[in-house]
Amino acid sequence: DAKTTQPPSMDCAEGRAANLPCNHSTISGNEYVYWYRQIHSQGPQYIIHGLKNNETNEMASLIITEDRKSSTLILPHATLRDTAVYYCIVRSGGSEKLVFGKGTKLTVNP
């Protein structure tokens, strides 16, 4: 079973920041937080991952709370092409499996 809880859907205006929350209150010390997204009828795309420090790459920023029980994925300037289902996944470094929950369907509106 997925170890994360995400809102089922969110809306965002084009050009604004999209902040997608994720709760993972049972996360253990060796587990990483991963974010993937899936655009309709395509395979998932890796976005970012982190352990406890905040992370940033060319796609997004990942903010992890100090107690690591929740995190937020930030798309700084959302575009229409960012409309997708976003999955927050918790995975231990020693495990290869990615267990997908239901994710958040983000709709970016013009």
CB of 59 to other proteins, least distance (A): 11
99 binds other proteins (CB under 8 A): yes
Give 70 or 103: the residue with its C-beta nearer to other proteins.
103
Burial class (CB in 10 A: 0-12, 13-18, 19+), 64: buried
- Asked if 59 contacts 47 with a C-beta cutoff of 8 angstroms, the reply is yes
- Asked if 3 contacts 69 with a C-beta cutoff of 8 angstroms, the reply is no
CB of 2 to other proteins, least distance (A): 8
Select the residue interacting with other proteins from 1, 8, 29, 42 (CB under 8 A).
Answer: 42
What gap in Å lies between CA 56 and CA 63, rounded to an integer?
A: 9
| Contact set with other proteins (CB under 8 A) | 32, 36, 38, 41-46, 49, 87, 93, 96-103
